[in-house]
Structure 1
Amino acid sequence: MSHEIGAASRLADLLIEAREKGKKLTPEAIGDLVPPDAATADAVQLAVAARLGPIGGYKVLQVGDNPGAWGAVLAKRIFEAPAAVAYSVSPLKVEAEIAFVLGRDLPGKPDGAAYSADDVAAAIDGAFAAFEILESRLAAEPRPSPLLGRADFMGNWGLVRGPVVADWRARVHADVAVRLEVGGRVAVDQKGGHSSGDPAHPLTWLANALAAAGRPLRAGEVVTTGAFGGGHDIAPGETAVATIEGFEPIRFTLKA
């Protein structure tokens, strides 16, 4: 166990250094520090977050009813739209997403039973259009293992949040229309296509997984649940505009 803790701590050190210097970690640099399982990858995330600032929310990926995966979103990297941010350490990508804000804690039920989808929905204060901003600290080739990606906040750099809509349930569905423009180019123009179908679906898995891990969702935290149309490069000086049906359009500018 002490060896696993030491390996997780060393990997956290490497990821923090990569963030600070903008370098990409190669397999040679990582060596035998690849997390052996999801719990270890999550421990690395928490070790990084403990040094870089509090967690303000999460990204979650879940396909169907299979076990999902989460990535931490640092509170200091959550911006209100329209946002304009300068960053030149390494390239960024943008994704158009629907995200949610918690209205109350979900610490786990006293009897140990799992939260239902209705339980979790009742704890949501509202939904909003969002940009997830991506930055990998890992070399693209050879493709890193999913567990390494999970240890690296699942590639999260930050989140841009739009105005919260309280009556969200009728607006969040599998056929929502989404358009994303980056630098005046149309990157996404589609109806539906979310990896989970219904963008709210992964919330239940995440709430139960975090409660079981002793790090439950808290009131005020935000959760973004996956992209419509994938991630797209944004260059310094460019502006991204996302229009998601049922929500106000949002803008993010990467300042030159």
Structure 2
Amino acid sequence: MTDVNTMSSTEKIERCATTLRQTVLQNSVIDALPAEAVPATRAEAYAVQTRYAELEGQPTVGWKIAATSEAGQRHINVDGPLGGRVLSDRVHADGDAVSLSGNTMCLAEPEFVFVLGSGLDPRTNPYTPDEVMEAVTALHFGIELPSTRFTDVTAAGALQLIADNACGHRFVLGSAVRTTWAPADLAAVSMTADVDGPSGHRTSEGVGRNVLGDPVAALTWLVNELSAIGIGLVPGDFITTGTCSEPIPVEPGDSLTTRFDGLGVVTCTFVD
């Protein structure tokens, strides 16, 4: 076994990405990444994501943010947000049936989603919210279905969870909002989620301010998080900003409808 003190960063990244890829292929979970290869920095952890996407052979079409709400942070036992990639074959359309096969969490997360009309290149000085919003061409809403490759997500820690694509799995992308909206109003936008299925009917509620205080703040955080390690965003990328409610347990046979304060509705059903 290669010693942790002699393994290069490139070797660590390859070991982690390969381990995670094999875990997915085997539909299994692991307690932790190989001890000699655990990322030492956020940059290494994000590099594992990049290499994992290469191994998957799927382009990155969007980005997700985990743990932007206190509920999300409690759920995975971290003290701040984490970024992750959304790969093209993991995106579903509004109304789709989404498989829960291989999903170790079986949770749904209603989210605010921004689509970029222009790119945001890496730079030394942080982007301001106004600069970021100038690049946004559309607002959507979505439903994230996270999962993890770890046996105990609360024990993994931030660096391993970033390497694990910030618990990224599947995502339902709704249509663009067609009514007038303003960035300053999004913190006050409320969300109601209705689930119907084998366990009966249940309702969850959320609001934009649960997302780092404001979905625009979450978007700006991700842009600067990636910029700091040399990753830019390109036109057409979407960024889903994290759950605005408590994560919602779902199971095969359930249907989920999320309504965002008159701005949009996103639905899906869940199958094995």
TM-score (norm 2): 0.83
Residue 148 to residue 172, structure 1, CA distance change in 2 (3 Å): farther
Which residue, 44, 56, 63 being the options, matches 1:40? 44
The 5 Å alignment of 1:200-239 reads 200-239=216-255
Cα offset for 1:16?
A: 0.8
Give yes or no for the alignment of 1:4 onto 2:4.
no
The residue that corresponds to 2:3 in the other structure is: none
The residue that corresponds to 2:35 in the other structure is: 31
Deviations 1:71-95 (A, max 9, x none): 1111221222011133422343210
Identity score, percent: 26
Residue 142 to residue 71, structure 1, CA distance change in 2 (3 Å): closer
The 5 Å alignment of 1:84-233 reads 84-91=97-104, 92-108=106-122, 112-140=124-152, 143-165=155-177, 167-169=180-182, 172-184=185-197, 185-233=201-249
Deviations 1:207-252 (A, max 9, x none): 2332343321111111011112232232122222111114221111
Task: Tell me how far apart the structure 2 counterparts of residues 20 and 150 of structure 1 sit (CA, whole Å).
Answer: 19
Give yes or no for the alignment of 1:20 onto 2:36.
no
Amino acid at match of 2:38: V
Task: Tell me how far apart the structure 2 counterparts of residues 234 and 174 of structure 1 sit (CA, whole Å).
Answer: 26
Task: Tell me how far apart the structure 2 counterparts of residues 47 and 88 of structure 1 sit (CA, whole Å).
Answer: 24
Give the match's secondary structure for 2:186. Answer: coil
List structure 1 runs of 4+ shifted beyond 4 angstroms: 61-64
Task: Tell me how far apart the structure 1 counterparts of residues 98 and 188 of structure 2 sit (CA, whole Å).
Answer: 31
Task: Tell me how far apart the structure 1 counterparts of residues 159 and 229 of structure 2 sit (CA, whole Å).
Answer: 17
C-alpha RMSD over aligned residues: 2.5
Q: Is the 8 A contact 2:69 2:210 kept in 1?
A: no
Q: Is the 8 A contact 1:171 1:245 kept in 2?
A: no
The residue that corresponds to 1:76 in the other structure is: 89
Cα offset for 1:193?
A: 5.0
The residue that corresponds to 1:251 in the other structure is: 267
Q: Is the 8 A contact 1:38 1:147 kept in 2?
A: yes
Number of equivalenced pairs: 252
Q: Which runs of 5+ in 2 are unaligned?
A: 1-5, 71-78
Q: Is the 8 A contact 1:55 1:72 kept in 2?
A: yes
Task: Tell me how far apart the structure 2 counterparts of residues 75 and 54 of structure 1 sit (CA, whole Å).
Answer: 6
Cα offset for 1:153?
A: 0.9
Cα offset for 1:141?
A: 6.5
Give yes or no for the alignment of 1:58 onto 2:63.
yes
Task: Tell me how far apart the structure 2 counterparts of residues 210 and 153 of structure 1 sit (CA, whole Å).
Answer: 13
Task: Tell me how far apart the structure 2 counterparts of residues 191 and 113 of structure 1 sit (CA, whole Å).
Answer: 31
